[in-house]
Amino acid sequence: VLDFNDPFSTEVKPRILLMGLRRSGKSSIQKVVFHKMSPNETLFLESTNKICREDVSNSSFVNFQIWDFPGQIDFFDPTFDYEMIFRGTGALIFVIDSQDDYMEALARLHLTVTRAYKVNPDINFEIFIHKVDGLSDDHKIETQRDIHQRANDDLADAGLEKIHLSFYLTSIYDHSIFEAFSKVVQKLIPQLPTLENLLNIFISNSGIEKAFLFDVVSKIYIATDSTPVDMQTYELCCDMIDVVIDISCIYGLKDDGTGAPYDKESMAIIKLNNTTVLYLKEVTKFLALVCFVREESFERKGLIDYNFHCFRKAIQEVFEVRMKVVRSRKHQSHIQKNKRPTPNGTPRMPL
C-alpha cells in the first residue's frame, strides 16, 4: 500500500474504497464500469486476494483512485493501519449481495462504518445493494427497506444516528451501476454546483428537456440539470455514447490511421420515433454533452449551438480555475517537502 502519507495525492485525487464480503461483486463492478468488460465475462474473474489500486484519470473532473479490498482481509488486524487508509478517503462503497444472507455483511458494514467515521467524519458512505437483477420489483423494494432499516438501527443503537448512509439498488446487467457510480463521483466534485447551474442556464435558454455532462470513457455522468433523472432517458444517453464512440473508432481516423476518433468536431444526432431528438456534442477531450430535445425545439438548432458554444467556454473557465488550484497545491506540497529535515536532522537545501 503506497502513498498513504502523500497529502497532495489524497487532496487532489480522493480515494474511493470498494469493500464488502467475498464474492459480493466488487471487482466485477470495477471491471464493467471502468474497463468496458462485458457483464458475462465477469463470471470468469478470479476472487481478489490482494488490495488492488487503480488511478481513474479520464478527465479533470473524474480524477480519483479506486482501492478494491479483498473480502477476506481483516482491515482491523493490529498489523493493518486502517487509520491511514481511511484518512485520505473521499467515499467508501460497501457492496452487499442482495441474493445472499446479508446478516454477516451488515455486521461487517457496521464495524467498517463506525471505525472509518471515527478516523474521518467527512467520508461519504455509499451502500450498493448489488445483484438485484435476479429479484422481482417487489423483492427489490423489500430488500432495500430491510437493509436500510437494519443498518440505521445498528447505528442508532451505537449512538451514531448522525452518520448518513446512501443506498442504491445496482446490477452490472443494466445501467443502474453506472447511475449509482455517477452519484458517488458527483459528491467528490467540488465544482458540481457550478456545473449544475451552467446546465440549468443552458437548457432554459435553449428549449431543451434534459441534459447530461458525461465522461465518455466510463459513461458516468458528472453533472445534470435540476430536473429529475429518468432511468430510461439515462440508458438512451449511455447507448448513444457507445454508438458514437464505436463508429468514431471505425470511421473517425484519417486514412493513414492518425488523428483522434473523438475530438472537437464530434457531434451526433439521433431522432427517436416519439418526436424526441438526442443531441451529442463534444465539450472537452473526455467530456460530452448529451441533450434531450423536442423536435419542434430542435428546429432552432442555431440557437442551441450558440448557447452550447457559451456553455463550453464556461466549462473551460472552470477547468482553468481547477488547474490553477492544482498547480498551487503542487507548489505548496513541494515547499513543504523541502522544509522537512533530512534523516540526519539538517535542513534541506532549496532546489
pLDDT string in tens for the chain (351-residue length)? 333 333 333 345 778 999 999 888 888 998 888 888 888 888 777 777 777 787 776 554 667 888 888 877 776 677 677 788 888 889 999 999 998 889 999 999 999 999 899 999 999 999 999 999 988 999 999 999 999 999 999 999 999 989 999 999 999 999 999 999 999 999 988 888 999 999 999 999 999 999 999 988 888 899 999 999 888 889 999 999 988 888 887 877 777 666 676 777 788 999 998 889 999 999 988 889 999 999 999 999 999 999 999 999 998 888 788 777 767 777 776 676 666 665 555 555 554
Domain extent for 242:
191-323
DSSP 230: P
For residue 327, what pLDDT is reported? 75
Judge whether 217 lies within some domain: yes
Considering the domain architecture, whether residues 216 and 310 belong to the same structural domain is answered as: yes
Considering the domain architecture, whether residues 239 and 145 belong to the same structural domain is answered as: no
For residue 48, what pLDDT is reported? 72
Q: Global pTM?
A: 0.82
Considering the domain architecture, whether residues 183 and 242 belong to the same structural domain is answered as: no
Judge whether 341 lies within some domain: no
Domain stops at, among 134, 160, 188: 188
- Rounded distance between C-alpha atoms, residue 342 and residue 257, angstroms: 51
Using CB atoms within 10 Å of the CB of residue 205, give its burial: 0 to 12 exposed, 13 to 18 middle, 19+ buried: middle
Considering the domain architecture, whether residues 220 and 294 belong to the same structural domain is answered as: yes
Considering the domain architecture, whether residues 221 and 120 belong to the same structural domain is answered as: no
Considering the domain architecture, whether residues 92 and 208 belong to the same structural domain is answered as: no
For residue 189, what pLDDT is reported? 86
Considering the domain architecture, whether residues 128 and 232 belong to the same structural domain is answered as: no
- SS3 track for 136-205: CHHHHHHHHHHHHHHHHHHHHHCCCCCCCEEEEECCCCCCHHHHHHHHHHHCCCCCHHHHHHHHHHHHHH
Considering the domain architecture, whether residues 295 and 266 belong to the same structural domain is answered as: yes
Domain stops at, among 124, 159, 188: 188
For residue 2, what pLDDT is reported? 32
Considering the domain architecture, whether residues 304 and 274 belong to the same structural domain is answered as: yes
Judge whether 276 lies within some domain: yes
Considering the domain architecture, whether residues 265 and 172 belong to the same structural domain is answered as: no
Considering the domain architecture, whether residues 73 and 104 belong to the same structural domain is answered as: yes
Domain count of the fold of the chain: 2
Task: Return the CATH number at 39.
Answer: 3.40.50.300
Strand partners, 260: none
- Rounded distance between C-alpha atoms, residue 338 and residue 103, angstroms: 50
Task: Return the CATH number at 273.
Answer: 3.30.450.190
State the cell numbers at 279.
443531441
Strand partners, 94: 19, 127
CA 291 to chain centre: 20
